[in-house]
């Protein structure tokens, strides 16, 4: 079961190096993931390969045209189910680890990278199934957000990261920040590693780490802590 991602962009070069990096490159080479990057410009029919135009009603900047984008998505029929056609946009739903886990279960999806001052609204209303934002800030295009989505999703696919343990250990996997980590030496410029970690008492270490996770989430990200508590409360109780 390979997940397929089709990316539509006017800057396919953006994706070459990041998709070759160790983790993603390996996932793609091993056919755990298939990522296809398509140039929207290839679907422009005029001789200047136009993908944008001035906004109706006037105003600054350019707007991405309907026809090339529509044709580009249509060209994927047969290879991609087109059940999930996603526009990366500052107006989208904020990407969370929860969402990333959900996307990693899909068999395929399309990522559309907008540029310019936006995308013709008829595309948004008739072609896009959902909009995703990677955070409340504006970028020049959806390319970096698309790469963020691809990398985050790849980490949630079994086999991409060697040890599933390390995935589950990650910050936010269960909605909490992870516990503090230390490595040798046991004392650095007079600053000591917490005693419990040197104790060899695995039970005690586990408890300490769980406490630290909760404490630092509460302190640094009270919003996440609240969400975690809500989740715990609603979780069905295991019958012993």
Q: Residue 180: count other Cβ atoms within 10 Å of its Cβ.
A: 13
- How many residues bind ligand 4FD (CB under 6 A)? The answer is 15
Residue 90: active-site member: yes
Question: Which residue's CB atom is positioned nearest to ligand 4FD?
Answer: 114
**What phi and psi, each to the nearest 5 degrees, are found at residue 91?**
-90, 5
Burial of 171 (0-12, 13-18, 19+ CB in 10 A): middle
Residue 155: active-site member: yes
Contacts of 95 by beta carbon, 8 Å cutoff, 6+ apart? 132, 133, 134, 135, 148, 149, 152
Q: Which stretch binds ligand 4FD (CB under 6 A): 14-22, 87-95, 152-160, 163-171?
A: 87-95
Among 135, 158, 162, 185, binds ligand 4FD (CB under 6 A): 135
Q: Which stretch binds ligand 4FD (CB under 6 A): 42-50, 86-94, 153-161, 218-226?
A: 86-94
By CB under 6 A, residue 114 contacts ligand 4FD: yes
CA distance 186 to 184: 5
Closest CB to ligand 4FD among residues 56, 137: 137
By CB under 6 A, residue 100 contacts ligand 4FD: no
HSE toward the beta carbon, residue 80, CA cutoff 13 A: 25
By CB under 6 A, residue 185 contacts ligand 4FD: no
Beta-strand pair 187-188/191-192: antiparallel
**Contact footprint for ligand 4FD (CB under 6 A):** 88-90, 114, 118-119, 133-135, 137-139, 141-142, 145
Task: Give the residue numbers marked as catalytic.
Answer: 90, 117, 155, 170
């Amino acid at each position: 079961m390979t997940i397929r991602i089709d990316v539509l962009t006017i800057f396919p070069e953006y994706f070459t190096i990041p998709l070759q990096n160790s983790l993603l490159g390996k996932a793609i080479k091993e056919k755990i993931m298939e990522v296809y990057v398509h140039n929207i410009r290839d679907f422009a029919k005029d001789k200047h390969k136009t993908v944008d135009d001035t906004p109706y009603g006037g105003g600054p900047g350019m707007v991405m045209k309907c026809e090339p984008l529509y044709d580009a998505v249509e060209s994927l029929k047969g290879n991609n189910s087109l059940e999930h056609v996603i526009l990366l946009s500052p107006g989208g739903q904020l990407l969370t680890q929860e969402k990333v886990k959900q996307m990693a279960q899909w068999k395929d999806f399309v990522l559309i990278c907008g540029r310019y001052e936006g995308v013709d609204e008829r595309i948004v209303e008739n072609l896009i199934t959902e909009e995703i934002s990677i955070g409340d800030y504006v970028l020049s295009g959806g390319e970096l957000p698309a790469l963020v989505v691809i990398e985050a999703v790849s980490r949630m696919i079994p086999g991409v990261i060697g040890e599933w343990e390390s995935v589950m250990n990650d910050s936010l996997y269960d909605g909490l920040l992870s516990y503090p980590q230390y490595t040798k030496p046991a004392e650095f410029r007079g600053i000591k590693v917490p005693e419990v970690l040197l104790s060899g008492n695995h039970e005690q270490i586990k408890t300490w780490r769980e406490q630290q996770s909760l404490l630092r989430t509460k302190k640094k990200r009270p919003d996440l802590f609240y969400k975690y508590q809500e989740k715990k409360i609603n979780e069905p109780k295991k019958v012993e």
